[in-house]
Amino acid sequence: MRGGPPGKGGGFGGLGHGGLKPKNEGGASLSRRLVLVGTYPPRRCGLATFAAHLLDAVRGTGLIRDIEVLPVVEEGEGIRQKFLPDYREAARYVNSLPSVTVSLQHEFGIFGGPDGEYVLDFTAELQKPLVTTFHTVLAHPDERKRKIIRLLARKSQMVTVMARRGMEILTSVYGVEREKIAIIPHGVPDPPPITPREAKEMLGVEGRVVIATMGLLNPGKGIEYALEALPPVVEEFPEVIYLVVGETHPGVRRIHGESYRESLLGLVERLGLREHVRFVNSYLGQEELLCYLLATDIYVTPYLGREQITSGTLAYAVGMGKAVVSTPYYHAEELLGGGAGCLVDFRDPEGIARALLQLLRNPHRRHLCEARARMLGRSMRWSLLGSQYARLFLETMEAAPRTTVLRG
């Protein structure tokens, strides 16, 4: 981070990301402060979007109003991702604040150093209560990743994961005490006040049966398998259109350009699906994303990695009450296990086709999946989860210092 004291344009205070400057509403001195460390808008990634929604939800409770963001940035104001001294400077700044809890949003790829190990320099210097949210929990990590998770968990007073499987892996693989793990599902926004029919009209897909996959595009999405599943589906249901919504992941584009998207476009041509597939090559804001979700009849996540413990777009689809066809990565297994969709094998276009045809041929079954998704989605609204997070942050602050133990 570039020098200068907090609040003087060069330090942490008043960073200007999303307007989240420490604020004292009503002029009263607030004794409870939350500092979030992780990516944050305008950076374009799922973690940044999650962080913004988390802080909005916590602020909405009125329990913690003094909120600050120390964003991890590629360049500019904040913790510069590849500049190791910034991490310790950030910790020293936080240590200077009174009555503060730190919310660390962890993903290996957003911090500097091999596997993001620079984050350990931040936590080593930190002397304030820490709550770490793990967005990835690998069941079969290499030794360095295992060490990073173990050290972060040891330093944290509490850790949160978004699926029960994440807790099981943390305890069995990393030796984290079960009692210091909180399971809080991925939050979803309230549905917008428009109908699916209106959403389809707005997007120019009225009269079509919409199948969709959304999110930053990368080879791990497995879109090619969904495309290969389409020919028998559109033969029976020619009104089907498959929307692939999202720009290429910036990290993938920086290294590989648009080669993955171009390979998918070539596959569409070879399969004769030009009239049945539409790519939306842009990064959508929440309002646009929810419009596309409302227009969707069946949501598909053909992802290739079983160990994906969190999928924001899957959570959003369930939150909007959509029937889902998905491969059985961890998050999908948990969300869809109650009947909100269908699970198919990895890299199995025939299985995807069968699941899509079952839902399209049997509207009653699809509506049943939708009803179960809506019921589950109501429990995942950010308006509810904000209170869970706020209470956790406050309890952690009040309980500090606490001695924690890591087994194994």
Q: What is the pLDDT of residue 402?
A: 44
The ranges of the chain with pLDDT < 50 are 1-30, 402-408
What is the residue whose two structure tokens read 């909005």?
56
Whether 73 and 12 have beta carbons less than 8 Å apart is answered as: no
Q: Give the separation between CA 114 and CA 145, rounded to whole angstroms.
A: 9
Q: What is the pLDDT of residue 255?
A: 87
Residue ranges of domains in the chain, CATH in brackets = 25-186+382-399 (3.40.50.2000), 196-378 (3.40.50.2000)
Nearest to 71 by CA among 14, 29, 144: 14
Chain centre distance of CA 346: 21
Q: What is the pLDDT of residue 275?
A: 96
Q: What is the pLDDT of residue 200?
A: 97
Instruction: List beta partners, residue 326.
Output: 301, 343
Whether 92 and 25 have beta carbons less than 8 Å apart is answered as: no
Identify the helix (H) or strand (E) that includes residue 130: strand 130-134
Q: What is the pLDDT of residue 32?
A: 85
Q: What is the pLDDT of residue 401?
A: 58
Q: Give the separation between CA 47 and CA 53, rounded to whole angstroms.
A: 10
According to DSSP, the β-strands at 181-183 and 209-214 are unpaired
Ramachandran category for residue 278: left, alpha or beta (phi over 0 → left; psi -120 to 50 → alpha):
beta
Q: What is the pLDDT of residue 342?
A: 95
Q: What is the pLDDT of residue 317?
A: 95
3-state secondary structure of 84: helix
* Contacts of range 16-22, beta carbons closer than 8 Å, 24 or more positions apart: 16/77, 17/41, 17/42, 17/69, 17/71, 17/77, 17/78, 18/52, 18/55, 18/69, 20/55, 20/67, 20/68, 20/69, 21/68, 22/66, 22/67, 22/68
pLDDT in tens, 334-380: 999 889 999 999 999 999 999 999 999 999 999 999 999 999 999 99
Whether 80 and 113 have beta carbons less than 8 Å apart is answered as: no
* Helix runs in 111-242, H state only: 119-125, 143-155, 164-174, 196-203, 223-236
Whether 255 and 245 have beta carbons less than 8 Å apart is answered as: no
Q: Is the dihedral of CA 10, 16, 21, 25 positive or negative?
A: positive
SS3 content of the chain, % helix, strand, coil (to 5): 45, 15, 35
* Helix runs in 180-301, H state only: 196-203, 223-236, 250-256, 259-270, 286-295
3-state secondary structure of 177: coil
